[in-house]
Amino acid sequence: MAKAHRMVAGSPDDGRCWLVLGRVLELEGVPHLALRAYRTGLVRLGSATFTWAPWFVWGALARALVQVDGHRPVEEFVARLDEVESTEGAWHGVKDAFYRVDPVRYERFLKGGLAHPGSRALVTAALDRLAARQARASSRRR
Protein backbone atom coordinates (compact mmCIF):
# COMPACT_ATOMS: atom_id res chain seq x y z
CA MET A 1 0.00 0.00 0.00
CA ALA A 2 2.87 2.37 0.75
CA LYS A 3 4.11 2.08 -2.83
CA ALA A 4 0.67 3.01 -4.21
CA HIS A 5 0.53 6.04 -1.92
CA ARG A 6 4.00 7.09 -3.09
CA MET A 7 2.89 6.76 -6.72
CA VAL A 8 -0.05 9.11 -6.11
CA ALA A 9 2.10 11.53 -4.12
CA GLY A 10 4.69 11.59 -6.92
CA SER A 11 2.14 11.97 -9.75
CA PRO A 12 -1.12 13.25 -8.26
CA ASP A 13 -2.54 14.24 -11.65
CA ASP A 14 -1.95 10.80 -13.21
CA GLY A 15 -5.21 8.91 -13.04
CA ARG A 16 -3.46 5.57 -13.50
CA CYS A 17 -1.74 6.02 -10.12
CA TRP A 18 -5.09 6.65 -8.47
CA LEU A 19 -6.52 3.51 -10.11
CA VAL A 20 -3.66 1.45 -8.69
CA LEU A 21 -4.26 2.96 -5.25
CA GLY A 22 -7.96 2.10 -5.57
CA ARG A 23 -7.21 -1.52 -6.43
CA VAL A 24 -4.76 -1.85 -3.54
CA LEU A 25 -7.28 -0.33 -1.12
CA GLU A 26 -9.95 -2.69 -2.44
CA LEU A 27 -7.70 -5.71 -1.94
CA GLU A 28 -6.87 -4.45 1.56
CA GLY A 29 -10.59 -4.42 2.42
CA VAL A 30 -11.24 -0.67 2.42
CA PRO A 31 -13.93 -0.41 -0.28
CA HIS A 32 -15.14 3.13 0.53
CA LEU A 33 -11.62 4.53 0.12
CA ALA A 34 -11.07 2.37 -2.96
CA LEU A 35 -14.19 3.84 -4.57
CA ARG A 36 -12.97 7.37 -3.84
CA ALA A 37 -9.59 6.59 -5.41
CA TYR A 38 -11.26 4.95 -8.42
CA ARG A 39 -13.45 8.03 -8.97
CA THR A 40 -10.44 10.33 -8.77
CA GLY A 41 -8.47 8.09 -11.11
CA LEU A 42 -11.14 8.00 -13.79
CA VAL A 43 -11.57 11.78 -13.63
CA ARG A 44 -7.82 12.34 -13.91
CA LEU A 45 -7.18 9.85 -16.71
CA GLY A 46 -7.66 12.46 -19.38
CA SER A 47 -5.42 11.60 -22.30
CA ALA A 48 -3.20 9.23 -20.31
CA THR A 49 -2.44 6.11 -22.28
CA PHE A 50 -2.12 2.50 -21.24
CA THR A 51 0.55 1.75 -23.84
CA TRP A 52 3.04 0.35 -21.33
CA ALA A 53 0.66 -0.36 -18.47
CA PRO A 54 1.23 -3.64 -16.61
CA TRP A 55 -1.63 -6.07 -16.09
CA PHE A 56 -2.36 -4.74 -12.58
CA VAL A 57 -3.17 -1.29 -13.95
CA TRP A 58 -5.52 -2.81 -16.53
CA GLY A 59 -7.27 -4.76 -13.77
CA ALA A 60 -7.61 -1.58 -11.73
CA LEU A 61 -9.13 0.19 -14.73
CA ALA A 62 -11.67 -2.61 -15.19
CA ARG A 63 -12.61 -2.59 -11.49
CA ALA A 64 -12.95 1.21 -11.49
CA LEU A 65 -15.16 1.25 -14.58
CA VAL A 66 -17.47 -1.30 -12.96
CA GLN A 67 -17.69 0.39 -9.57
CA VAL A 68 -17.97 4.06 -10.51
CA ASP A 69 -21.42 5.01 -11.77
CA GLY A 70 -21.87 6.54 -15.19
CA HIS A 71 -19.51 4.31 -17.13
CA ARG A 72 -19.92 1.62 -19.75
CA PRO A 73 -17.25 -0.73 -18.37
CA VAL A 74 -16.80 -3.20 -21.21
CA GLU A 75 -17.05 -0.64 -24.00
CA GLU A 76 -14.67 1.82 -22.33
CA PHE A 77 -12.18 -0.92 -21.48
CA VAL A 78 -12.18 -2.36 -25.00
CA ALA A 79 -11.74 1.14 -26.48
CA ARG A 80 -8.47 1.47 -24.53
CA LEU A 81 -7.11 -1.70 -26.14
CA ASP A 82 -6.35 0.23 -29.32
CA GLU A 83 -3.49 1.88 -27.42
CA VAL A 84 -1.43 -1.31 -27.14
CA GLU A 85 0.28 -3.69 -29.54
CA SER A 86 -0.39 -6.77 -27.42
CA THR A 87 -3.56 -7.03 -25.36
CA GLU A 88 -2.36 -9.99 -23.30
CA GLY A 89 -1.57 -7.88 -20.22
CA ALA A 90 -4.95 -6.18 -20.38
CA TRP A 91 -6.82 -9.48 -20.40
CA HIS A 92 -4.61 -10.84 -17.61
CA GLY A 93 -5.68 -7.80 -15.58
CA VAL A 94 -9.36 -8.48 -16.25
CA LYS A 95 -8.92 -12.11 -15.24
CA ASP A 96 -7.19 -11.10 -12.01
CA ALA A 97 -9.92 -8.55 -11.28
CA PHE A 98 -12.96 -10.78 -11.88
CA TYR A 99 -12.27 -14.47 -12.54
CA ARG A 100 -12.67 -15.69 -8.94
CA VAL A 101 -14.96 -13.00 -7.52
CA ASP A 102 -17.34 -12.36 -10.40
CA PRO A 103 -17.08 -14.92 -13.24
CA VAL A 104 -20.23 -13.55 -14.90
CA ARG A 105 -18.66 -10.10 -15.16
CA TYR A 106 -15.41 -11.71 -16.39
CA GLU A 107 -17.35 -13.44 -19.15
CA ARG A 108 -19.06 -10.16 -20.05
CA PHE A 109 -15.70 -8.43 -20.49
CA LEU A 110 -14.39 -11.32 -22.57
CA LYS A 111 -17.41 -11.31 -24.86
CA GLY A 112 -16.99 -7.57 -25.33
CA GLY A 113 -13.38 -8.20 -26.29
CA LEU A 114 -14.41 -10.43 -29.19
CA ALA A 115 -15.10 -7.26 -31.17
CA HIS A 116 -11.48 -6.13 -30.83
CA PRO A 117 -9.40 -7.65 -33.65
CA GLY A 118 -6.18 -7.73 -31.63
CA SER A 119 -7.89 -9.56 -28.78
CA ARG A 120 -10.05 -12.11 -30.59
CA ALA A 121 -7.71 -15.13 -30.29
CA LEU A 122 -6.83 -14.48 -26.63
CA VAL A 123 -10.44 -13.85 -25.68
CA THR A 124 -11.72 -16.90 -27.53
CA ALA A 125 -9.21 -19.11 -25.71
CA ALA A 126 -10.16 -17.54 -22.36
CA LEU A 127 -13.86 -18.08 -23.05
CA ASP A 128 -13.16 -21.73 -23.91
CA ARG A 129 -11.28 -22.17 -20.61
CA LEU A 130 -14.08 -20.46 -18.70
CA ALA A 131 -16.71 -22.70 -20.32
CA ALA A 132 -14.66 -25.79 -19.44
CA ARG A 133 -14.38 -24.60 -15.83
CA GLN A 134 -18.11 -23.99 -15.65
CA ALA A 135 -18.82 -27.44 -17.12
CA ARG A 136 -16.55 -29.09 -14.53
CA ALA A 137 -18.21 -27.18 -11.71
CA SER A 138 -21.65 -28.11 -13.02
CA SER A 139 -20.79 -31.81 -13.24
CA ARG A 140 -19.48 -31.79 -9.64
CA ARG A 141 -22.79 -30.40 -8.37
CA ARG A 142 -24.75 -33.29 -9.85
Render each residue's pLDDT in the chain as its tens digit; 142 residues. 778 778 778 878 999 999 999 999 999 999 999 999 999 999 999 888 999 999 999 999 999 999 999 999 999 999 999 888 889 999 999 999 999 999 999 999 999 999 999 999 999 999 999 999 889 988 887 6
Domain boundaries, the chain: 2-141
Q: How far apart are CA 41 and CA 125, in angstroms?
A: 31
Measured CA angle at 95 (ends 90, 100), to 5 deg: 165
Region class of 69: left (phi > 0), else alpha (psi between -120 and 50), else beta: beta
